[in-house]
C-alpha cells in the first residue's frame, strides 16, 4: 500500500542545539537547560511572557512547536501525539520538595506530562486530539500507527508527533509534523532513522 502521509517537517532539540530538516536553527555555548531555554527564547524573539512561568518540559515543547508552526501553519485540528520516558518527573521532584515547606500549586499543575499539550494548544489555538504516551525508549511503531489512525479516520488533518523528554536536566526532543504534503514518507523506519541520526548540525 503506498504511503499516503509524509513527514512534512521535523525538529530536534538536544545538547544546546536546535535544528530542523534544513538547517541549524540555534546553537548555544552551553547545554545546561535553563540558560539554553532562555537564550533560545531570546534568539527566536518569542515574546510570549507565559513562557517564563512554564516548567522545562513545557518550555521545550513551546520552542519546538513554535519553530515548526512558524514554517508550517497549524490548523485548529492539528493533533498532538507526544511521548517520553520520564513523564513529568523533573517537575514531580520539585513539587515533592515544595511540600516540605509550602506545597506549590503552580508547580503541581505541571506534574502531568500532557500539560505541555495544553500549553501548545493555547499558544497555537489548537482544539484538537491530544495523547501523551510514556515508553521506555522512542517507540516509532506506536507513534506511527497511532498517528496514521488519526489521519486515516480523519480525526485530524495533520499531526505533530514525537518525543519530548526531560530528566536530570538532560533534554531530548524530536517532533515531526505529519501530513499529506509530499516530503519524507511517513513510516516507522523513517521515524527511527531521523530520531536515531547523530545529532550533528547539518553540513549544508
Query: Which residues make up the interface to other proteins (CB under 8 A)?
Result: 76, 80, 85-87, 89, 92-93, 95-96, 99, 103-105, 108-109, 111-119, 121-122, 125-136, 139, 141-142, 145-146, 148-150, 152-153, 155
Q: Which is nearer to other proteins, 72 or 130 (CB)?
A: 130
Q: What is the sign, positive or negative, of the torsion defined by CA atoms of 57, 103, 49, 117?
A: positive
Shortest Å, Cβ 29 to other proteins = 32
Shortest Å, Cβ 31 to other proteins = 23
Measure Cα distances from 182 to 6, 65, 76, 162, 185 in Å.
6, 20, 21, 19, 8
Shortest Å, Cβ 50 to other proteins = 10
Shortest Å, Cβ 96 to other proteins = 5
Q: Which is nearer to other proteins, 19 or 124 (CB)?
A: 124
Measure Cα distances from 116 to 28, 29, 67, 127 in Å.
23, 26, 15, 14
Q: Which is nearer to other proteins, 24 or 96 (CB)?
A: 96
Shortest Å, Cβ 129 to other proteins = 5
Q: Which is nearer to other proteins, 63 or 150 (CB)?
A: 150
> What CA–CA distance (Å, rounded) separates 181 from 198?
26
> What CA–CA distance (Å, rounded) separates 174 from 179?
16
Q: Which is nearer to other proteins, 8 or 84 (CB)?
A: 84
Measure Cα distances from 151 to 2, 77, 128, 185 in Å.
15, 11, 12, 14
Shortest Å, Cβ 30 to other proteins = 27
Assign 131 to helix, strand or coil.
Answer: strand
144 contacts 154 by C-beta, under 8 angstroms: no
Q: Which is nearer to other proteins, 2 or 203 (CB)?
A: 2
Amino acid at each position: 500500500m503506498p504511503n499516503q502521509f509524509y513527514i512534512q517537517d521535523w525538529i530536534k532539540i538536544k545538547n544546546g542545539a536546535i535544528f530542523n530538516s534544513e538547517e541549524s536553527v540555534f546553537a548555544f555555548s552551553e547545554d545546561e537547560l535553563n540558560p539554553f531555554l532562555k537564550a533560545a527564547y531570546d534568539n527566536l524573539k518569542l515574546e510570549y511572557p507565559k513562557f517564563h512561568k512554564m516548567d522545562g518540559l513545557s518550555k521545550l515543547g513551546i520552542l519546538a512547536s513554535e519553530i515548526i508552526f512558524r514554517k508550517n501553519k497549524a490548523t485548529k485540528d492539528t493533533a498532538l501525539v507526544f511521548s517520553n520516558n520520564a513523564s513529568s518527573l523533573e517537575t514531580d521532584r520539585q513539587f515533592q520538595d515544595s511540600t516540605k515547606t509550602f506545597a506549590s500549586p503552580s508547580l503541581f499543575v505541571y506534574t502531568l506530562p500532557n500539560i505541555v499539550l495544553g500549553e501548545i494548544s493555547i499558544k497555537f489555538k489548537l482544539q484538537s486530539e491530544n495523547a501523551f504516551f510514556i515508553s521506555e525508549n522512542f517507540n516509532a511503531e506506536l507513534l506511527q500507527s497511532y498517528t496514521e489512525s488519526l489521519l486515516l479516520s480523519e480525526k485530524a488533518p495533520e499531526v505533530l508527533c514525537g518525543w519530548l523528554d526531560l530528566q536530570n536536566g538532560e533534554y531530548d526532543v524530536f517532533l515531526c509534523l505529519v501530513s499529506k504534503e509530499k516530503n519524507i514518507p511517513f513510516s516507522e523506519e523513517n521515524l527511527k532513522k531521523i530520531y536515531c541520526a547523530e545529532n550533528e548540525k547539518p553540513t549544508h
